[in-house]
Chain A
Amino acid sequence: MICPRCDSNTAEKLVDAPADKSWEVYICKTCWFSWRSTEDEAISNPALYDKKFKLDPSAIDKLLAIPPIPPLKKTP
């Protein structure tokens, strides 16, 4: 399944609606974007997702890490 935000083919179903299966939630394993099947097409359709909020998968490694991972402390 194509992720609406990063366009990777790595999105999959995460859960069904627990009470009545009236919707599903999907999640992308590349950019961790998640959405519900009942949300607006502007959220769920890759072609309609706002370009300002799109995420290029190749840019993920260059995102700022907060907080940075500290150096390991040597055990005595």
Chain B
Amino acid sequence: MAYKDLRAFLEKLEIEHQLVRVHDEVMPEPDIAAAGRAAPNIDNGPAVLFEKIKGYHNPAVVNVHGSWANHALMLGMPKNTTVKEQFLELDRRWSKFPVKPHWVSSGPVKEVVIKKEINLFEILPLFRVNQFDGGFYISKALVVTRDLDDYDNHNKQNVGTYRLQVKGKDLLGIQALPFHDIGIHLRKAEELNEPLPVAICIGNDPVLTFMASTPIAYDQSEYEFAGALRQEPVELTKSETGDLDIPAGAEIVLEGYIIPRVRSVEGPFGEFPGSYSGARLQAEIKIHTITHRIKPIFENLYLGIPWTEIDYLMALNTSIPLYRQIKESMPEVAAVNAMYTHGIGTIISTKSRFGGYGKAVAMRLLSTPHGMPYAKIIIVVDEFVDPFNLQQVMWALTTRVRPDKDVILIPNAPGMPLDPTSEPPGMSTKLIIDATTPVAPDVICRETELLATPPKAAEWEKIIRHLMELSNKGVDK
């Protein structure tokens, strides 16, 4: 069953003990970011909802996606579902793309419409995310834009998450990198000196936020992918201006336009590798309309040194596209775990067709569009090793790697500039560790027989889990 909106998901999280409410008044700084850091430090940490924030009217929530339990619940799966099971289920649903959205004439997001005297601080309980950020950031919104050359083409409409710095009551800075889809929309608008209409949707069904940070093709619709992943069409309505499609159940939508051919200081901002990206000259957005639900909830993202919420948010949505690209030519591949710093560290499990196959799989990863610059440390394990289970991966490293034969460096290859070890920025040496069991014609030094799992072990896992649940309920009494 899909969640209609953020509120439906928060209700589910609360029932499953994966959301905590802070009733007491908190300060915008440092409390909200501190909680955003603290929650993912806790095993299966919860979402944290602040009901009362000093000086503000509305509540805020952080860490909505910030644990594997919350991630599983997002997919409608039991909260103790393993990461590998979530990966395989996502891959299965991926094949259902496209699921067309359902359009409605209005929705809860239109409960309040503001068209004059815009003041973002009236609606959004803004807070500083990291200490030396250049200002207050909106860090988890869906930014919706269209291609000015093909405005009615629904597939070329883009829904992405980009960092937004508040620079006035009605002014935002935006990071729109040239290789992002919004960068293409902005270039076309600026070539014509035209404003680019934009709708910034805050507080959404968690699957929409998940899709907005998934790298898909320029002419693939995030809304149609979200429909596939949530197994129901997304419900959309129209923005007040600009003919943009917005989620009918969003908490808040800011409407405006990117001012053409203007750049001003934006940043620094603490970024996903766990370090700041510096101040740059970036584009600006003028906001002229706000629509929102009554008592809207400001959903925002804290990101710090991994792991924090963003690492859960862009874990499997990086892994699935890489898995599909590699599997197309190497069907033996069983799973790809590309969730370490956006795939800078990647673990692949595969059956070996012949000797050296593990190394060939790693090199295939290095020739995918994302893997080429990002993947730097690649570990390949056997197909029966769960690449999401680091204890199993360590077992493979300790018992399967012959350091003289299975560890390879590829110097001076494409790199990811935000990786602080990339030298010069954009160049990296790649490390491949082949931890698969050698197969012919590779020389197998000593035959080893693997220990088998006792019969009924899976059954006993279920029994023990059930007994633990009963025991936990007893404690609650």
Contact = CB atoms under 8 A, between A and B. Distances in A.
Interface of A: 5, 14-15, 17-23, 25, 27, 31-36, 38-40, 42-43, 50, 53, 55, 60, 63-73, 75
B121 interface: yes
Contacts of B266: 32
B265 to A, nearest CB: 5
Given A14-B169, A66-B280, A67-B177, A22 B183 contact: no
Listed from nearest, the 6 A-B pairs whose CB atoms lie closest are A17-B55, A34-B135, A73-B191, A65-B281, A67-B178, A53-B132
B187 A72 contact: no
27 contacts: A18-B55, A19-B56, A19-B57, A23-B54, A27-B168, A32-B264, A32-B265, A34-B134, A34-B136, A38-B28, A38-B29, A38-B54, A39-B29, A53-B268, A63-B265, A64-B281, A65-B280, A65-B281, A66-B175, A66-B263, A66-B282, A67-B178, A67-B186, A67-B283, A70-B187, A70-B190, A73-B191
Contact of A67 (B27, B183, B268): B183
Given A19-B56, A63-B265, A32 B135 contact: yes
A68 B166 CA distance: 21
Contacts of B131: 42-43
Contact of B128 (A18, A20, A39, A55): A39
Interface in B88-133: 119, 121-122, 128, 131-132
Interface in B176-203: 176-178, 183, 186-187, 190-193
Interface of B: 27-30, 54-57, 119, 121-122, 128, 131-132, 134-136, 165-169, 173, 175-178, 183, 186-187, 190-193, 261, 263-266, 268, 279-283
Contacts of A53: 132, 268
B187 A34 contact: no
Contacts of A64: 280-281
A50 B55 CA distance: 27
B265 A55 contact: yes
Contact of B168 (A14, A21, A31, A70): A14
B265 A31 contact: yes
